[in-house]
Amino acid sequence: MSRNISNLSGRIGLKKNLFQKISERSLNSKNNDGMKEIADEYKMGLSTIHGAESFYEFLRPSHREKKAFVCNGSACMCAGTQENLKNKLKDKLGKDKVGEMFCLGYCYENNAFHYNGENYAGKDINEIDKIINGETIIQEKFISKSFATTSFLMDNKLSNINKFKDNLSKFLKIDKNEIIKSLLSSNLTGRGGAGFPTGMKWDFCSKTKSKKKYVVCNADEGDSGAFSDRYLLEDQPLKVIFGMVVCAYVIGSDEGVLYIRGEYPKSIEALNGSINSLKEAGLLGEKILGTDFSFDLNICIGQGAYICGEETALIASIEGRRAEVDVRPPFPVTEGLYKKPTVVNNVETLAAAAGILINGAEKFSAIGNKKSAGTKLVCLDSFFNNPGVYEIDMGTPMKKVFYEIGGGLNKPIKAFQIGGPLGGVVPIKEVEKLNLDFQEFTSAGFMLGHASVVSIPKDFSMIDYIHHLFEFSAEESCGKCFPGRLGSYRGKEMFDQFKNKSTKIPLKLLNELLITMKKGCLCALCGAIPTPIMNILKYFGDELKNDIVVEN
């Protein structure tokens, strides 16, 4: 069934993308007007279109009735700023007019909210009258700085179209295999979480025979604590696009898509601007720089579903299907978007690939080690004296990252959740033993992931933190596998019941639930959420002992 829908959607393709059509219809209509026309145009059943639309939070009537949305991500929650913010917005806009959105990427200043298609944070709430009047206000920018031996991501910007052009004309003369060799020798691994070697991914896709192939940039950064992709999209859009264009040249693709979450309006604006400028300069489109290479780029805007960051759900979403995770294999490199060979890469991976090709692979591989090579963006939240996004050498001691680069902490902190909601909860004493290294984190029972850091204050209840994680997975599970769909709800209920003071938490049952989810879920959303919960049970037993029942 889903193969059929993929093919029907692919028949029309990216130019008149089905998902964008479904979104636009839904956002501009209060009833089902126009839905049948879309179904007919794409030769699909009405239920398929309705089913896809109903998957997304932003397309639901309950969401569209709201005027403002406060960020309910982990960093804003730990900072304790959101209740007050919500009340202020309710005072201005009405009690029923304020909803929630999961992580707007302002973890460095909190107080984050979304109003009328724009994001605000920090002190912006003091200007609420101006914001409601539609006046432009001056907003703080994130602090960004490279501490790397050689900067591949932050410095040496592709700051203008001419630099883009000079570099592209150079690479379009290089043999494709040489570019793959260079990436392989750099030891770059995917920065989106799974850590697959990027050169190998491009190589596999280049060797898959097909007239049509796609390059997809995964810009659905939903991990709370992370704003590194947002930094790259807004500050270095040309570098990200350069990575996509070179990838397309190497694998033999003539079309790509950037899937950007709707929670990042400024990123969408920046990318749109860059794509238009590149098209005007003839650097995207037909026969680029007089060669036989053509490549066009489209943007797809997410509609508020965290799971769309998972690559098979992301592909389903672009195709206009419900964003449910698919079983792999086949992997996207052989059967991806519209069932055609596809490279899906994270924003930072593509920017790093561009940086490596421009600066030299040997400089990248010289940093860190073979499995954790090069430099990485690390995001530090508002509990650090120097909150911001930093480019740091892999292998750097976490003590240095936190206390020198981050400037230490401004409040007593007991643990950090590193790598988003699916990453480990690392007690402060444990993190001090680690280096910035994917394998070291995994061996210690944590996960470095996208290297975002959310600080958990000493006085923040770990029961509340576990409740937050179960609530998140219950809300964001795609619903395809039973252990994920039911398990996350059962976990949430267990902690709901505790919070309502009716029962203590049964440890045996909780452990069984966590093991079932870990072993049985289709993807790492509900399959990895047990990791931070198990970390809390292991390291914070003393804090939890009065709330948990240990039965035989």
- For binding to ligand FMN (CB under 6 A), which residues are involved? 190-194, 196, 218, 220-222, 307, 309-311, 344-346, 349, 523-525
Nearer to ligand FMN, 53 or 221 (CB): 221
Q: Quote the tokens at residue 39.
A: 């179904």
Q: What is the dihedral of CA 338, 340, 341, 346, to 10 degrees?
A: -10
Find the shortest distance in angstroms from Cβ 153 to ligand FMN.
13
b (16+ CB within 10 A) / e for 395-423: bbebeebbeebbeebeeebbbbbbbbbbb
Nearer to ligand FMN, 274 or 346 (CB): 346
Integer-rounded Cα radius of gyration of the chain: 23
Find the shortest distance in angstroms from Cβ 541 to ligand FMN.
28
Q: d(Cα 282, Cα 230) in Å, to the nearest integer?
A: 26
Cis peptide before 329 (omega within 30 of 0): yes
190 DSSP β-pair partners: none
Nearer to ligand FMN, 38 or 307 (CB): 307
Nearer to ligand FMN, 48 or 317 (CB): 317
Nearer to ligand FMN, 139 or 185 (CB): 185
Nearer to ligand FMN, 425 or 525 (CB): 525
Question: Which residue bears the tokens 């999209």?
Answer: 233
Find the shortest distance in angstroms from Cβ 6 to ligand FMN.
18
Q: Kindly report the number of other CB atoms within 10 A of residue 313's CB atom.
A: 25
Nearer to ligand FMN, 190 or 427 (CB): 190
Task: Report the chain's terminal Cα–Cα distance, integer Å.
Answer: 47
Find the shortest distance in angstroms from Cβ 459 to ligand FMN.
30
Q: d(Cα 317, Cα 55) in Å, to the nearest integer?
A: 10
Q: d(Cα 537, Cα 544) in Å, to the nearest integer?
A: 8
Q: What is the dihedral of CA 399, 402, 404, 409, to 10 degrees?
A: -120
Q: Quote the tokens at residue 483.
A: 């252990």
Which sign, positive or negative, has the C-alpha torsion 416, 303, 246, 162? negative
- Enclosing H/E stretch for 425: strand 425-427
Nearer to ligand FMN, 190 or 252 (CB): 190
Angle between helices 265-280 and 161-171 (to 10 degrees): 70
Q: Quote the tokens at residue 337.
A: 């978007």
Pair 391, 147: CB distance under 8 Å: yes
Nearer to ligand FMN, 219 or 494 (CB): 219
Q: d(Cα 344, Cα 337) in Å, to the nearest integer?
A: 9
Q: Quote the tokens at residue 302.
A: 């997410």
Q: d(Cα 166, Cα 176) in Å, to the nearest integer?
A: 18
Nearer to ligand FMN, 255 or 310 (CB): 310
CA angle 482, 488, 493 (to 5 degrees): 120
Find the shortest distance in angstroms from Cβ 96 to ligand FMN.
31
Find the shortest distance in angstroms from Cβ 55 to ligand FMN.
15
Find the shortest distance in angstroms from Cβ 83 to ligand FMN.
27
Find the length of the chain.
552
Q: Quote the tokens at residue 211.
A: 């007239």
Find the shortest distance in angstroms from Cβ 424 to ligand FMN.
15
Find the shortest distance in angstroms from Cβ 526 to ligand FMN.
8
Angle between helices 311-319 and 18-27 (to 10 degrees): 70
DSSP 3-state of 258: strand
Nearer to ligand FMN, 81 or 417 (CB): 417
Nearer to ligand FMN, 353 or 505 (CB): 353
Pair 307, 321: CB distance under 8 Å: no
Find the shortest distance in angstroms from Cβ 407 to ligand FMN.
28
144 DSSP β-pair partners: 389
Nearer to ligand FMN, 234 or 310 (CB): 310
